[in-house]
Amino acid sequence: MSALVQLVTNLAQRARSASYALAVASAVKKDVALAKLADLIDASHAEIIAANKRDLDSPEAQALTAAARDRLRVDEKRLKHLAASVREVVGLPDPVGEVLEETTRPNGLKIRKVRVPIGVIGIIYEARPNVTIDCAVLCLKSGNAAILRGGKECFHTNTALAGLISRALVAAELPADAVQLIPTTDRAALTTLLKLDELIHCIIPRGGESLIRYVAENSTIPVIKHYKGVCFVYVDAAADLTMAEAIVVNAKTSKPSVCNAAEQLLVHRDIAEQFLPAVAAALHAKGVELRCDTASAAILGRSSLPTVPATADDFRTEFLDYVIAIRVVDSVDTAIATINRDSSNHSDAIVTWDEPTARRFLAEVDSATVYWNASTRFTDGFEFGYGAEIGISTDRLHARGPMGLRELCSYKFLIEGTGQIR
């Protein structure tokens, strides 16, 4: 066994041992650790920012896109927000031990189904140092041990933050091994981690499609994932067009580089002549490139707005940029069928005042989150009231959509008897 394999295996063994203690730790003790962590973040701005500068000055960070470098950067404002998010999780109910079902059988057996931690969770992520804290905090509160493997571009920042987590755990008399950062950027460490299915119970990758596909294809451990966010907004014939314009512009332009941003716009033919010029002008003013099907291009061709002919691939693409693909459809039936065929089952919205049409859309669109008269940008653990999220799942087992504390739990059955035998 190589030294690297031994290092990662030993780390996972320590995490598994810590998970037993964490699973039965009191809510009070876990909250003490979280409160201490928030205080340590507040008191360590200079240390964290200095570590972050080392990352930003590295050749790996210099090669990142502007958007990726922005995600990597931490400053006073972001650190204050990070500490506040930790304190918000302190205020959330502890899910561990919650009774989901309870029954007494005719033979007198008392059966309870209760929430329990999953065990050991591995989180694989890219140049997003906030994920180090978000994931550690949610795993800790839900009683799970966590193994963190961040990108090489933010290694020093992650190391500084992981050090604070360890200090907080020790201060609360919890095992320091409950949250561990893999102390190397060697890709072989990730390969080793993904094969330790006897010690690690779940892998959650956070990042681009290539990372997630690599993890899913190489892991012998169950993976909770979403490959991409090809999100749709459908503007129905019965839409309030002013509302629709505001929703489309927000869903596309408030933060184009995230997975819950709208990439596709469907417009009902009955209102296309009226709606498309207005929404296209608003999008163009924000710098959005309009990739149009034949029908929408013909309508917008009568204005001075520039458009680009859409390719077939454009209609299934996650642009993560100031680009949107536009199609005209004849009915809500076509809209639903189009979304179910071309979306990534992440977040899709309808804008309409026709309630039966909206109810059909909500019921028949097969996505993790489906909206009526609201922006897709709300698909987020914080916005859903979870305090934070460990990721957004487009899987169906066992979690779907933003994953908070409850989604980081499994359950077990507790059976009490008085000597019954079968």
Domains of the chain plus CATH, in order, are 3-224+403-416 (3.40.605.10), 231-378 (3.40.309.10)
pLDDT in tens, 44-96: 999 999 999 999 999 999 998 887 888 899 999 999 999 999 999 999 999 99
> Mean of the per-residue pLDDT values for the chain?
96
pLDDT in tens, 98-121: 999 999 999 999 999 999 999 999
Least confident of 90-94, 265-269, 388-392, 398-402: 388-392
pLDDT at 387 over 80: no
pLDDT in tens, 189-198: 999 999 999 9
pLDDT at 1 over 80: no
CB atoms within 10 A of CB 235: 28
Which pLDDT score is estimated for 137? 96
Q: What is the pTM of this model?
A: 0.90
pLDDT in tens, 279-300: 999 999 999 999 999 999 999 9
Which pLDDT score is estimated for 331? 98
Mean pLDDT within 17-30: 98
pLDDT in tens, 355-369: 999 999 999 999 999
pLDDT in tens, 203-215: 999 888 899 999 9
pLDDT at 314 over 90: yes
Which pLDDT score is estimated for 398? 87
pLDDT in tens, 138-180: 999 999 999 999 999 999 999 999 999 999 999 999 999 999 9
Which pLDDT score is estimated for 67? 76
